[in-house]
Amino acid sequence: MPTEDLATRLRAAAPETTATVEPLPGTDGRLRFPPDQALAVFRACQGVLGYRHLSMVGGIDWVDHREVFYLVWSDETRRYLMLSSDLPLPAPHIESATAVWPSANYHERETWEMVGIGFDHHPDLRHLLMPDGYQFNPLLRSFKLHEPEELEVKVRHV
């Protein structure tokens, strides 16, 4: 689907959104939206635009802000679409996509744990790869490789 058509169809499906679509090679495009319009964009993409499958969720630490992105897949056109949103510091957070794509659950837990992006109304936001009580976000650029002794966490929790 050409990017102009995509932008037009998104506006028709969700008139309140101010999302913009820019070309991204190999996909239908890269849809950038403000974080407060997240749920409307998710619903429009999953419903009218037909991107039924959420392939991955990830986060990027741009030091002055953070970015969250979603890669969604359409079975009809067999094409990917990337959704991305810039989240301001401090306390970057966005609405959870689990109400629209249930498979976002684990991906958002990982993104929350590794990049420190909060997901509002997530049903089960807890550690995925790290033990409970882990106090770092290892994929942030401010995270340095530590001496092993500094990284000891409380592993014995009753």
Decide the pairing of beta strands 30-32 and 93-95: unpaired
Closest separation in Å from C-beta 153 to other proteins: 6
Closest separation in Å from C-beta 156 to other proteins: 6
Interface with other proteins, residue 155, by CB under 8 A: yes
Interface with other proteins, residue 140, by CB under 8 A: no
Half-sphere exposure of 38 (CA within 13 A, CB side): 21
Closest separation in Å from C-beta 147 to other proteins: 7
Residue 16 to residues 55, 78, 118, 128, Cα–Cα distance (Å) = 26, 27, 24, 35
**Interface region with other proteins, contact rule CB under 8 A, candidates 49-57, 74-82, 93-101, 130-138:** 130-138
Closest separation in Å from C-beta 146 to other proteins: 7
Token couple for 86: 């810039």
Question: Per residue, what are the HEC states of 74-118?
Answer: ECCCCEEEEEEEEEECCCCEEECCCCCCCCHHHHHHHHHHHHCCE
Question: Among 26, 64, 91, 152, which residue interacts with other proteins (rule: CB under 8 A)?
Answer: 152
Q: Which residue has the tokens 């992006």?
A: 117
Interface with other proteins, residue 141, by CB under 8 A: no
Half-sphere exposure of 137 (CA within 13 A, CB side): 18
Q: Which of residues 105-124 bind other proteins (CB under 8 A)?
A: none
Question: Among 48, 63, 89, 153, which residue interacts with other proteins (rule: CB under 8 A)?
Answer: 153
Residues near other proteins (CB under 8 A) are 129-131, 134, 136, 138, 143, 145-149, 151-153, 155-157
